[in-house]
Amino acid sequence: MSEAPRHILVIGIGAGDPDHLTLAAVKAMRRADVFFVLGKGAEKDALTRLRRDILDEHLTGPYRVVEADDPWRDRTQRDGGRYASAVHDWRHRRADICERLIADELAPGETGAFLVWGDPSLYDSTLAILDDIRERDTVAFDHEVIPGVSSVSALAARHRTTLNRVGRPVHITPGRRLAQGYPEDCDLVVMLDGHETFTHLVGGGWWIHWGAYIGTPDEILVSGPLDEVADRIGRLRAEARERHGWIMDTYLLRQGWDGPQGASRPAGSADGSADGPLG
């Protein structure tokens, strides 16, 4: 007789604000027997603490967490094919770890959960890793995805803006690809940018809505004409990175735009003041 399949929940938990957890996410968390957490270093410590705070707040009984170290990843490769192969290799080793977690830490018929930062559909490897494990055909499981509030939605909300202008496209890109170019006539959302790639666009008539640690007590927001605020964002980034040991920031770039509609330019925005949501 074949054994009951294991069940996996991939739960988006929002990108920092515990109040961004959806009711569906809470209900899903309550169905889980065990929570899997992967990470490494200072960023992992901070994000693991946040996950545990979320679990403490929403689960009434005891719960089981299994932590594993993220495998090493070669971050020196930034160009095309070599970048893709470094990521592929890293994902494969991550899949080895997750396969072991599912096989060893979850009994047949039990439910395990991955608490995914933001939304699982956006720059997150969990779903690709589960596909990879399924192809190996070593451990039987099914899985379900619960969407979360992404850092991009949180950024737009904190700046009280939309991602798109009327009838226009939005292009979402990692910073690494922005450096290589971008489509004409699009607003740009930039993530995973460790290199302040927005500085390449100074002089092009862009407005930037920038946010770091959005939704957390350490949140920093800056909005204004890129030419006027780029240096300030650079300084804030460097200081914050030094203070925390890691940084997560996201920004929206909009060309040929004078700032939020219907409002005069918010106080402090032109000089990049970081106070308040429109900072």
Told to check if 236 binds ligand SAM by CB under 6 A, we report no
Told to check if 198 binds ligand SAM by CB under 6 A, we report no
Residue 114 phi/psi, 5-degree rounding, is -105, 120
Q: How far is CA 112 from the centre of its chain?
A: 21
Told to check if 212 binds ligand SAM by CB under 6 A, we report yes
Told to check if 15 binds ligand SAM by CB under 6 A, we report yes
- CA distance linking residue 111 with residue 28, whole number of Å: 10
Query: From the CB of 221, what's the least distance to ligand SAM, in Å?
Result: 10
- CA distance linking residue 269 with residue 135, whole number of Å: 51
Structure tokens at 200: 């390449």
Query: From the CB of 108, what's the least distance to ligand SAM, in Å?
Result: 30
Residue 174 phi/psi, 5-degree rounding, is -75, 150
**Of 244, 278, 273, which is closest to residue 262 (Cα–Cα)?**
278
Told to check if 150 binds ligand SAM by CB under 6 A, we report yes
Told to check if 163 binds ligand SAM by CB under 6 A, we report no
Stretch that binds ligand SAM, among 25-33, 50-58, 209-217, 222-230 (CB under 6 A): 209-217
Contacts of 138 (CB under 8 A, 6+ apart): 99, 103
Told to check if 214 binds ligand SAM by CB under 6 A, we report yes
Question: What does the CA dihedral 171, 180, 39, 158 come to, rounded to 10 degrees?
Answer: -40
- The position carrying tokens 């690494």 is 176
* One of 7, 10, 11, 16 touching ligand SAM (CB under 6 A): 16
CB nearer to ligand SAM: give 217 or 262. 217
Told to check if 223 binds ligand SAM by CB under 6 A, we report no
CB nearer to ligand SAM: give 211 or 272. 211
Which residues contact ligand SAM by CB under 6 A?
15-16, 117-119, 122-124, 150-151, 191-192, 211-215, 248-250
